[in-house]
Amino acid sequence: MYELIDAFPKQLEEALAIGRAAKLNAPGGPFTNVVITGLGGSGIGGRIAAQLVAQEATCPIEVYNNYYLPGYVGKGSLVIACSYSGNTEETLAAMHEALGKGARVACITSGGTMLELAREKGLDHIVIPGGNPPRTMLAYSLVQQFFLLKHFGIIAGDFEGPMAKAATMLANDKAAIQQAAKDLTAKLFGKRVIIYSEAATEAVSIRFRQQLNENSKELCWHHVIPEMNHNELVGWAGGAKHLAVVLFRHTSDHERSQVRMEINKEVFARHTEHIHEVWSQGDDAFARQLYLINLGDWVSYYLAEKKGVDPTEIAVINMLKGKLAEVK
């Protein structure tokens, strides 16, 4: 796991090369909507990409993590199906539904049934390297989302330059990022973690939560500002000393959300002293989001190490898949 997290900047560069070399069909369109379907480590890249391009996209982009798709999906839709193994049953079911509805379907996968189906039906597809836990291959699946969104005319801006620049920043700042992650890990050890961010960074918070779940074997939760100010903030009446808050922050967060965060900290402090702010670094949104992702990945690894658990072990997920396979 250490080597795979350490390789994140290099993976971003390799993913850019894969995307540039991809052979895709004529884009067609225009599209009235985009739905990205995928689960877990395969699906989070779509959620991050959708948030990063939200202000630029020419049509709505929705992320669906289920067996089915929204009712509006049809001939004017673009459906991006992402399954690292190519065998994720929920994503394959959604993919078949998309084809049945006449939607344009594009795939991101390393192989399996999805790749076979894409080749059989002549669907657009980008093949990424296989053989590793899906959550460790985020760089590959994330970058391909941008290539597909640009190919199909959903976005027009340059993402390759900012992505390459961010990869260089992460590589150059590796020691500082690791040290920041170790410092935060020491503060979180033995606590129940709650992750907050502005709504535009929710996908990164979800990624951190998922990494703590899988790598660190930790239960935790996340919420976003301003929405949590209308519900969960009241729940802090039941706060406790064993809770630790991690606030992912950007200097670019909405000015009113910044004010809200400062007031929220006062509420949290009535119940716990463990309030930790993580400020992003980088010159643009790509760099700032990727910085938080990389730092969060390191925290999940160091926390697993501190707890003495194997960050690669997911026996309970494999058990679930095995039992599902018995049900026809």
- Catalytic (active-site) positions: 214, 230, 321
Cα–Cα distances (Å) from 189 to 72, 193, 300, in that order, read 45, 9, 11
Report residue 59 as tokens: 């049509």
- Ramachandran sector of residue 149 (left: φ over 0; alpha: ψ -120 to 50; beta: rest): alpha
Cβ atoms 56, 157 nearer than 8 A = yes
φ, ψ for residue 215, nearest 5 deg: -80, -45
The string of DSSP letters for 83-109 reads: ESSS--HHHHHHHHHHHHTT-EEEEEE
Cβ atoms 204, 293 nearer than 8 A = yes
From the CB of residue 45, how many other CB atoms can be counted at a distance below 10 Å?
A: 30
Angle 264-269-270 from CA coordinates, rounded to 5°: 105
